[in-house]
Amino acid sequence: MDNENIYYFEKAPIHKAVAHFSVPMMLGMSLTVVYSILNAYFIGMLNNSEMLAAITLTIPVFAILMAFGNLIGVGGATYISRLLGEKDYKQIKHVSSFSFYGCLLLGIVIISFCFPFVNKIITGLGASSLSFDYTKDYVTVMLIGSPFIILNFALEQLVRAEGAAKVSMIGMLLSVVVNIILDPIFIFLFDWGVTGVATATLLGNIAAVLFYAYYIVEKSDFLTLSLKNFKASKLIISNVLKIGIPVFLLSVFMGTTALFFNNFVAIYGDTSVAAYGISSRILQLPEFVIMGLCEGVVPLIAYCFTADKDRMKAVIKFTGILVATLALTFAVIVLLLSNHLIELFTIDENIISIGSYVIKVTFLSLFVSGITVLVTGIFQATGQGKPALIMSLVQGLILIPILFLANDYAEFHGVIWSLFIADFISCIVGALMLFLLRNKLTVSLDEITSNP
């Protein structure tokens, strides 16, 4: 790592350090909003509803591959940042090599396991007879490229773990730009349709992987991809998986609860579904900004946990204030402009009316969900596997029983308010665990890693 990154870890004023780590992450995550919208936009220009349905149905496949990348990437990255604070550079090389080859192996296993059952996977995604072949084309490309997709998400985490936040952002930007450039070429010039979208997405991920690999091999002082440094010791595996597994499970659970929620909203008609769909798209940008802020500071918190706990506390306090400020700012904007924001997407008066109500309720969740993400990040950064797992279970599953109860009690209003209620409960659980663990967070890393 160069001196600039060490400076941000150890000596930069708190606001500069937080900005260094979080702003690139916030920008990178915001780009993914554009990324998903443009894929649908280009396919939409073909006026083929089956193709459009196919790229929608395959979202869970990409999400699961991303979750596998985070399984090793987040666990490995937080461990690396803690080791960096301890100045244990030899172990960092072992962890980074383990993470790289672990992702490759995981991708190969997914290819081997999924290809024999690809038709059943397509059926399970809900593809109709008309969209079946298009969905299969997309999933096939994703499965072939699964090692690269998994590596992309993992290497981005590893690079950020040593403080190279700008490099992380450039990799994310490169992936999006390559995808955007290749989409129209493959879809319209080569007439590849859905296969073109999938191929462009895969090549974007490959470009990012090559960029991160170049940085690690040529620029990084501590990360390595060398096979000779590969070491799958019990200590490494336990420290990677005790944080990686909760992150993986959270991704899977959140996808499941999203399906439940959509089905409950659908009970109240297409207008309600459309209104919620519009409000959720508007919510994406501020949600990703706050999430980028909270996830961006995780390496800084992890480093300071082993190097300077007073600085760690200051980082957490400053980030919490920023989360509250951003959430309040976005909330005020929504309260003042809710109708106008919905009108950007539709002229239907019923959708505008319902959407305006939905967006006000869902935006209330920004503050509590932001604090929840920050608390979860603290558990990840400090190697608290059990609290991280509990947070994943609560965040991922609490919404389901609340949906049933709220729907019975208050119908549509109950369904919409269930989001805020679930986020509020998750926030309370996280804050309570953080309070109970306040003493444990002051012990040494050796004590924590000896009891994974």
Note the pLDDT tens digit of each residue in 202-221: 999 999 999 999 999 999 98
> Which residues, 6+ apart, have CB-to-CB distance to 17 below 8 Å?
8, 9, 300, 315
- CB-CB contact of 411 with 268 (8 Å): yes
In 3-state terms the chain splits into helix, strand, coil percentages (rounded to 5) of 85, 0, 15
Residue 444 has pLDDT above 90, yes or no: no
Question: Region 439-444: what's the mean pLDDT?
Answer: 65
pLDDT at 259 over 80: no
pLDDT digits 0-9 by tens, 146-178? 999 999 999 999 999 999 989 999 999 999 899
Could you give the CA distance from residue 37 to residue 68 in angstroms, rounded to a whole number? 23
pLDDT digits (tens, 9 = 90+) for 91-148: 999 999 999 999 999 999 999 999 999 999 888 877 778 888 988 999 999 999 999 9
Q: SS in 3 state form for 177-231?
A: HHHHHHHHHHHHHCCCCHHHHHHHHHHHHHHHHHHHHHHHHHCCCCCCCCHHHCC
The string of pLDDT tens digits covering residues 379-406 is 999 989 899 899 988 988 898 899 999 9
Which residues make Cβ contacts (< 8 Å) with residue 216, sequence separation at least 6? 96, 155, 158, 159, 223, 224, 225
The percentage of residues in the chain with a pLDDT greater than 90, rounded to a whole number, is: 48
The number of beta carbons lying within 10 Å of the beta carbon of residue 123 is: 14
CB neighbour list of residue 137: distance below 8 Å, 6 or more residues apart: 54, 193, 194, 195, 198
- The whole-angstrom separation of Cα 416 and Cα 261 is 9
**pLDDT given for residue 1 in this prediction:** 44
Question: What is the mean predicted confidence (pLDDT) over 229-250?
Answer: 92
Indicate the domain borders of the chain: 3-232, 256-449
Residue 279 has pLDDT above 90, yes or no: no
Quickly state the pLDDT bin for 450 (edges 50, 70, 90). Answer: very low
* Higher pLDDT, residue 273 or 449: 273
In the prediction, which pLDDT does 288 show?
Answer: 83
Q: Are 57 and 123 in contact (CB under 8 A)?
A: no
pLDDT value of residue 282:
78
Interval 311-332: pLDDT, tens: 999 999 999 999 989 988 888 8
Does residue 449 register a pLDDT over 90? no
Residue whose tokens read 């100045």: 87
Q: For position 442, what pLDDT does the model report? A: 62
Q: Which pLDDT value is given to residue 443? A: 54
At residue 452 the predicted structure's pLDDT band, cuts being 50, 70 and 90, is very low
Q: How confident is the model at residue 3 (pLDDT cuts 50, 70, 90)?
A: low
Mean pLDDT of all residues in the chain? 86
* Per-residue pLDDT tens over the stretch 10-49: 889 999 999 999 988 888 777 776 766 677 677 777 877 7
- Distance of alpha carbon 243 from alpha carbon 78, whole angstroms: 8
